[in-house]
Chain A
Amino acid sequence: MATVDLTSIAKSFGPTKVLGGVDLSIADGEFLTLVGPSGCGKSTLIRIIAGLEAQDSGGVAIGGASVDHLRAHERRVAMVFQSYALYPHMTVGANIGLPLTMSRMTLRQRLPLLRLLSRQRREILRGIEADVGAVAAQLQLEHLLDRRPAQLSGGQRQRVALGRAMVRSPDVFLMDEPLSNLDAKLRVHMRTELAELHKRLGATFIYVTHDQIEAMTMSDRVAMMDAGDVLQLGTPSELYERPASIKVAQFIGSPAINLLPATLAGSGRIELFGRPLSLAVNGTAGASITLGIRAEALSLAQGEPGQGGRAWFSARLRRKENLGSEYILHFDLAGRDAPGVTTRATAATAATVNETAEVALTFDETACHVFDVGGERLEPRNGGAVSSVVPLRA
Chain B
Amino acid sequence: MASVTLPVAARAAAPITPSGAIAKRLLSLVVVHGILLAGAIFMLLPFVWMLITSIKPPAEIFTAQISLWPKQFYGVENYSFALSQAPLLRFALNGVILCAGILVVQLLVAIPCAYALAKLRFPGRNLLFVLVLLGLCIPVQVPAMPLYIALAELGLLNTYFAMMVPFFLSVFAIFLFRQFFRSFPDDIIHAARLDGMSEFEIVWRIVTPSAWPAIAAFSVFSAVAHWNDLYWPLIVISDAKLAPPPLGMMFFADAETGSNYGALTAAATVLTAPLVIAFLIARRRFIDGITMTGVK
List chain A positions with a Cβ less than 8 A from chain B.
47, 50-52, 71-73, 77-79, 81-89, 98-99, 102-103, 110, 150, 164
B190 within 8 A of A: yes
A85-B185, A88-B210, A89-B209 given; A79·B191 CB < 8 A: yes
Does B195 lie within 8 Å of A99, measured CB to CB?
Answer: yes
Contact of B192 among A47, A51, A71, A87 (CB under 8 A): A87
Q: Using a Cβ–Cβ cut-off of 8 Å, how many residues does chain B contribute to the interface with A?
A: 17
Complex Cα spacing A78 to B194, Å: 7
Q: Interface centre among B190, B194, B209, by most A CB within 10 Å?
A: B194
Residue of B nearest to A77 (CB): B194
A88-B210, A89-B209, A89-B210 given; A72·B193 CB < 8 A: yes
B206 within 8 A of A: yes
Complex Cα spacing A78 to B185, Å: 18
Does A73 lie within 8 Å of B209, measured CB to CB?
Answer: no
Does A50 lie within 8 Å of B187, measured CB to CB?
Answer: no
Does A52 lie within 8 Å of B194, measured CB to CB?
Answer: yes
Contact of A79 among B190, B206, B209 (CB under 8 A): B190
Does A87 lie within 8 Å of B194, measured CB to CB?
Answer: no
Does B210 lie within 8 Å of A102, measured CB to CB?
Answer: no
B188 within 8 A of A: yes
Complex Cα spacing A81 to B210, Å: 19
The digit string for B188-212, where 1 denotes a CB below 8 A from any CB of A, is 1011111111000100001001100
B190 shortest CB reach to chain A, Å: 5
A102-B195, A102-B196 given; A83·B185 CB < 8 A: yes
**A71: chain B residues within 8 A (beta carbon):** 193
Does B187 lie within 8 Å of A83, measured CB to CB?
Answer: yes
Complex Cα spacing A230 to B206, Å: 36
Does A88 lie within 8 Å of B295, measured CB to CB?
Answer: yes
Does A81 lie within 8 Å of B190, measured CB to CB?
Answer: yes
- A-B contacts, 8 of them at CB < 8 A, read A73-B195, A79-B191, A81-B190, A85-B185, A85-B188, A89-B210, A99-B194, A164-B195
**A72: chain B residues within 8 A (beta carbon):** 190, 193-194
Does B188 lie within 8 Å of A87, measured CB to CB?
Answer: yes
**B206: chain A residues within 8 A (beta carbon):** 87
A54 shortest CB reach to chain B, Å: 10
Q: Which 7 A-B pairs have the closest CB atoms?
A: A102-B196, A73-B196, A85-B187, A85-B191, A89-B209, A81-B187, A99-B195
Complex Cα spacing A89 to B196, Å: 18
**A79: chain B residues within 8 A (beta carbon):** 190-191, 194
Complex Cα spacing A71 to B195, Å: 11
Does A52 lie within 8 Å of B188, measured CB to CB?
Answer: no
B201 shortest CB reach to chain A, Å: 8
The digit string for B279-296, where 1 denotes a CB below 8 A from any CB of A, is 000000000000000011
A145 shortest CB reach to chain B, Å: 18
User: Which residues of chain B (116-164) have a CB below 8 Å from chain A?
Assistant: none
The number of A-B residue pairs with CB atoms under 8 Å apart is: 58
Does B187 lie within 8 Å of A98, measured CB to CB?
Answer: no
Residue of A nearest to B212 (CB): A89
**B197: chain A residues within 8 A (beta carbon):** 73, 102
A60 shortest CB reach to chain B, Å: 15
Residue of A nearest to B210 (CB): A88
A110 shortest CB reach to chain B, Å: 8
Does B295 lie within 8 Å of A81, measured CB to CB?
Answer: no
**B196: chain A residues within 8 A (beta carbon):** 73, 99, 102-103
Does A73 lie within 8 Å of B194, measured CB to CB?
Answer: yes
Does B195 lie within 8 Å of A81, measured CB to CB?
Answer: no
Complex Cα spacing A159 to B191, Å: 15
Complex Cα spacing A102 to B188, Å: 16
Residue of A nearest to B191 (CB): A85
Complex Cα spacing A70 to B192, Å: 16
A88-B210, A88-B295 given; A73·B193 CB < 8 A: yes
B296 shortest CB reach to chain A, Å: 8
A58 shortest CB reach to chain B, Å: 20
Other than the given A79-B191, A87-B206, 17 more pairs (CB < 8 A) read A50-B190, A52-B190, A72-B190, A72-B194, A73-B194, A73-B195, A73-B196, A73-B197, A78-B194, A79-B194, A81-B190, A85-B188, A85-B191, A87-B192, A88-B210, A102-B196, A102-B197
**A86: chain B residues within 8 A (beta carbon):** 188, 191
Complex Cα spacing A47 to B197, Å: 17
Complex Cα spacing A77 to B191, Å: 11
**A84: chain B residues within 8 A (beta carbon):** 187
Residue of A nearest to B193 (CB): A72
Residue of A nearest to B198 (CB): A107
Residue of B nearest to A83 (CB): B187
Does A85 lie within 8 Å of B195, measured CB to CB?
Answer: no
Complex Cα spacing A110 to B202, Å: 13
Complex Cα spacing A53 to B195, Å: 15
User: Which residues of chain B (81-129) have a CB below 8 Å from chain A?
Assistant: none
**A150: chain B residues within 8 A (beta carbon):** 296
**A77: chain B residues within 8 A (beta carbon):** 194
A203 shortest CB reach to chain B, Å: 15
Does B193 lie within 8 Å of A85, measured CB to CB?
Answer: no
**B193: chain A residues within 8 A (beta carbon):** 52, 71-73
**B201: chain A residues within 8 A (beta carbon):** 110
A308 shortest CB reach to chain B, Å: 37
Does B195 lie within 8 Å of A82, measured CB to CB?
Answer: no
User: Which residues of chain B (194-236) have a CB below 8 Å from chain A?
Assistant: 194-197, 201, 206, 209-210
Complex Cα spacing A154 to B201, Å: 27
Residue of B nearest to A87 (CB): B206
Complex Cα spacing A263 to B193, Å: 55
Residue of A nearest to B190 (CB): A52
B150 shortest CB reach to chain A, Å: 35
**B192: chain A residues within 8 A (beta carbon):** 87, 98
Complex Cα spacing A164 to B194, Å: 11
